[in-house]
Amino acid sequence: MPRLQGKVAVITGAASGIGRGTALCLAREGAAVVAADLNSQGGESVIGEIAASGGRAVFQYSDVTSETDIKSAIDRALREYGRLDIMFNNAGLVGAVGPIESVKAEDWDKTVAVLLRSVFQGIKYAVEPMRKAGGGSIISTSSVASFLPGAYGAAYAASKGGVISLTRAAAVQLGRDRIRVNCICPGVIATPIWGGISGMDDPAVLEQELGHAQTIPRVGQPADIAAMVLFLASDESQWVTGQAMIVDGGLTVGPNLPALSAEVPSGYRGPSFKK
């Protein structure tokens, strides 16, 4: 039997990268999926692929900086499928980059809104339907940048570190409701988020530049993270909560990231599908 048979998942940032890979994975394992994203074309593509494989999925246009949009994505799951079992707060971007003294306050705020405030809102609106369902699993995307920040990515690192602390605090509160709250810290994963960094939008270039940055000498794939999401979403992890699961090919064991230490122009990098 599929590991998520009868379960319902909302995934933010589901149109590309980790979100897309996870939507496909969870659907294969029996979950009905609400794919939430700003990228309508990518979102419709992923639900089409799920449907073609016999799975169940709908696309919900969502700006994760909007509290209304996050609530609407969860409400869509309840209308379409009658329950919520899995909330994957995954949407992300690079955001504000550059020396701290050059980062604009508004770019900092926009970065935190996407990477941290959206996770708070996803947890907030998942609680009540999960209580009604008798429990559930809330999973969020943090990053190894929480532990190994790049020289010019303070806003990103601070936001992702906040995701870990928020995860732990929510786990303390919600354990009594059998709602598990965990996060995942990916390492170098081949996703569109790299497109604006050092020209590494070509997977071959990304592999050449960063494939040996970790102990396992290859760049990670969305499927590597999806496998951890699947574990945390399934009943196999029913005694796991409040954890930051590092999935990085050994990057945090002994990193070698010269490409990420190079100076980069200041600015703000938005969603990867908007060039």
Domain coordinates of the chain in residue numbers?
8-269
Q: How far apart are CA 184 and CA 171, in angstroms?
A: 14
Specify the pLDDT at position 185: 98
Segment 70-87 mean pLDDT: 98
* Residues whose CB falls within 8 Å of the CB of residue 182, separated by 6 or more in sequence, listed in order: 137, 138, 139, 140, 167, 171, 232, 237, 240, 241, 242, 243, 244, 245
Residues near 214 by beta carbon (within 8 Å), at least 6 away in sequence: 187, 188, 248, 249, 250, 251, 253, 255
Hey, is 258 helix, strand or coil? helix
Q: Please give the pLDDT value at position 206.
A: 86
Give the whole-number percent of the chain exceeding pLDDT 70: 93
Of 30, 8, 4, 145, the residue nearest 79 (C-alpha): 8
Q: What are phi and psi of 143, to 5 degrees?
A: -170, 155
For residue 209, pLDDT beyond 90: no
Residue-wise pLDDT for 214-232, tens only, equals 999 999 999 999 999 999 9
Whether pLDDT at 271 is above 60:
yes
268 catalytic per annotation: no
Tokens 């969305």 belong to residue: 222
In the set 81, 125, 156, 268, the catalytic residue is 156
Tens-digit pLDDT profile for residues 106-124: 999 999 999 999 999 999 9
**Residue 262 above 60 pLDDT?**
no
Q: What's the topology of domain 8-269?
A: Rossmann fold (3.40.50)
